[in-house]
Amino acid sequence: MIHKEDITGLVLAGGRGTRMGGADKGLQNFRGIPLALHTLMRLGPQVGEAMINANRNLSAYESFGVPVWPDATADYAGPLAGFLTGLERCETAYLVTVPCDTPLFPQDLVARLAEALAREDAEIAMAAAREEDGAMRPQPVFSLMRRELMESLVRFTQGGGRKIDAWTGQHRTVLVPFDRPGDEPSAFFNANTLAELHRLEQSS
Ligand SMILES: Nc1nc2c(ncn2[C@@H]2O[C@H](COP(=O)(O)OP(=O)(O)OP(=O)(O)O)[C@@H](O)[C@H]2O)c(=O)[nH]1
Ligand SMILES: [Mg+2]
């Protein structure tokens, strides 16, 4: 069994927000609260420690009250750069990642990932959920992983690797479906554009 005190939660807010016109997505308001803070408030009760990965406007993120870490490299190498930053800063045995643009993610996300990781003796537990087109797909930015994977990720990214599934494919990974009766069907809908953000704000 994995205790929540052994898990650090990382809010991924280090992207370019290209599809939002280059806006710093984590600072865009969702129901009156910045997306990254909304995400942090939903993640905090599920983990022992929390931190934010951001690459711009660091003092705004720092005002949310948890440590803020930018990527070590300034080239916007994608979400794996955020994973790596998180693993480097993580002081617990496990790290879980959550993107800042999916504010309605499940309140039992971490518990279910942790249960599956322990049950399967896996190295990574990754959520899978139905997307807006109805298809079940892995949600790689929602992953719980062992801190020891840091060295593997250093090697992978230094070799030029960028794709999350190419890296997780090197490790024992369990997929955790979030489509049980009672699961919110739109929990994993993410806001990549301002229109999607406004649509999400109107939803349940
Ligand atoms: N640290 C870090 N995180 C990133 C980077 N690129 C994307 N992310 C994060 O990964 C998650 C998924 O990213 P996307 O929604 O695909 O990308 P985005 O950069 O936010 O937006 P687009 O530029 O429109 O693709 C988000 O939480 C991003 O903040 C990066 O270069 N570095
Ligand atoms: Mg996104």
**For residue 199, with 0-12 CB atoms within 10 Å meaning exposed, 13-18 middle and 19 or more buried, which class applies?**
middle
Domain count, the chain: 1
Answer yes or no: is the C-beta of 10 below 6 A from any ligand 1 atom. Answer: no
Residue 204 has pLDDT above 80, yes or no: no
The candidate with the shortest Cα–Cα distance to 147, out of 1, 7, 3, is 7
Answer yes or no: is the C-beta of 128 below 6 A from any ligand 1 atom. Answer: no
- Specify the ligand 1 atom closest to the Cα of 85: 1
What predicted TM-score, i.e. pTM, was given to this entire model? 0.97
Q: Which CATH number belongs to the domain containing residue 128 in this structure?
A: 3.90.550.10
Question: Which ipTM was obtained for this model?
Answer: 0.96
Phi, psi (deg, nearest 5) at residue 126: -120, 135
Provide the residue range defining the domain that includes 163: 4-202
Residue range 167-179: average pLDDT? 98
Cα distance between residue 122 and residue 116, in whole Å: 8
Answer yes or no: is the C-beta of 17 below 6 A from any ligand 1 atom. Answer: yes
